[in-house]
Amino acid sequence: MISILLPLLVSAIISLLSAYPAIRFAKKFNLIDDPKTNHHPKVIHQHPTPRGGGLAIFASILISSLVFIPLDPHLFAILLGASILVITGLIDDKYNLNPYYRLAIQFFAASIPIISGIGISFVTSPFGQGIIDLSNPQVSFQFLGETRSIWFISDLFALIWIVVIINFLNMGAKGVDGQLTGVVAIAAATIAALSLRFSADITEWPVIVLALITTGSFLGFLPWHLYPQKIMPSFSGSNLGGYMLGVLSILTTSKVGTLALVLGIPLIDTGYTILRRVASGKSPVWGDRGHLHHRLLDLGWSKSQVTYFYWAITAILGLIALNLNAESKLYTIIGISLALGGLILWLTHQQKKS
């Protein structure tokens, strides 16, 4: 029990204490989001707010990981990829980088843990018993005196999966105070709970600890992010959250279906949003005010109510995901997609009426 609670507690404390220096850093380098000068339609806050909260969360993940997990090539690669994403996020907070530049950097950062050997070798078939082997075709070669392999389908699937989680989480779960932080913490806690089922395997413990560290790092930041937020996790925080969840879902015996279900609301909402933008002739990566959280706000919900709604649904889906097989998860995701699509259509109709 101590080995479980200590990484969670320490990471939460480090994140909590790191947020104040992050605020000072943001003010010193003018990483401030001022709604008077930033007239983007998705901006909903009313007062100048520091960006760059991902720096505090990353400091917690970095320090806690080095304390509680043996440093091996896999952990080094994960932390290196995370650092690239956080630095990119901080630069974006200052200069608002082109979304396509950010996407290219995300692919590069996500490739680092994959190159280190982290990948999806198989997925459980959602259409009955058995698994789908992703390990072939593959090619082996000598590099720095070691034999290395490229698993084409496995590596490509893992790369796309991590980048998709990063961007869909950024687009669908970052708009309201406390929303992103709570959603990531709940999702990471679900992964930790899932990993505990395999705790008899000693190789699973680093994954459990890393999931708990991720949970604690986002929980510790939460008091600073609750309405009214003192600092935003911003693009660095959403980058880091999506990246860690994507990597953890791969490490946890390739339970990508579990994460897809837990993050069902932001993933499906973002999917609908991308389809809507493309259908109207707009770029899928340029933000607007059409996400579910925007529609709920327009309906009259408070920011806190929207946040609690996302937390509650994520927690419920997390509990459900822990008790479903692959086939049931697929049907559940389909059901959520239909229900959410109906809700969005109804909210759109209500908005037009008003």
pLDDT tens string 300-341: 899 999 999 999 999 999 999 988 877 788 889 999 999 988
pLDDT (mean) for 176-199: 92
Question: Residue 314: its pLDDT value, please?
Answer: 96
Question: Residue 1: its pLDDT value, please?
Answer: 66
Task: Let me know: does 148 contact 279? Beta carbons within 8 Å.
Answer: no
pLDDT at 148 over 70: no
pLDDT (mean) for 171-182: 91
pLDDT tens string 15-35: 999 999 999 999 999 999 887
Question: Residue 142: its pLDDT value, please?
Answer: 64
Structure tokens at 89: 């996020």
pLDDT (mean) for 176-180: 95
Please provide residue 150's backbone torsions phi and psi, each rounded to the nearest 5 degrees.
-110, 120
Place of tokens 């600890």: 209
pLDDT at 139 over 70: yes
Res. 38 pLDDT band, cuts 50 70 90: low
Structure tokens at 119: 């990948």
* 151 SS3 class: strand
Comparing 46 with 310, the larger pLDDT belongs to 310
Q: How open is the CA angle 331-334-337, to the nearest 5 degrees?
A: 150
pLDDT (mean) for 196-223: 89
Question: Residue 136: its pLDDT value, please?
Answer: 75
pLDDT tens string 55-107: 999 999 999 999 999 999 999 999 999 999 999 999 998 888 988 999 999 99
Contacts of 105 (CB under 8 A, 6+ apart): 84, 85, 88
| Residues that constitute the known binding site for Mg(2+) | 170
Is 0.85 topped by the overall pTM? yes
pLDDT tens string 98-137: 889 999 999 999 999 998 888 887 777 676 666 777 777 7
Res. 4 pLDDT band, cuts 50 70 90: confident
Question: Residue 147: its pLDDT value, please?
Answer: 67
pLDDT tens string 151-175: 788 889 999 999 999 999 998 888 8
- CA-based radius of gyration for the chain: 20
Q: Which of 60, 13, 320 is nearest to 193 (CA)?
A: 320
pLDDT (mean) for 204-222: 95
Task: Let me know: does 251 contact 46? Beta carbons within 8 Å.
Answer: no
Question: Residue 192: its pLDDT value, please?
Answer: 93
Question: Residue 6: its pLDDT value, please?
Answer: 95
Q: What is the 3-state secondary structure (H, E, C) of 273-334?
A: HHHHHHHCCCCCCCCCCCCHHHHHHHCCCCHHHHHHHHHHHHHHHHHHHCCCCHHHHHHHHH
Q: In 10 A of CB 190, how many CB atoms?
A: 30
Question: Residue 197: its pLDDT value, please?
Answer: 80
Comparing 244 with 174, the larger pLDDT belongs to 244
Question: Residue 261: its pLDDT value, please?
Answer: 92
pLDDT at 354 over 90: no
Comparing 3 with 338, the larger pLDDT belongs to 338
Place of tokens 């999966």: 161
Mean pLDDT of the chain: 88
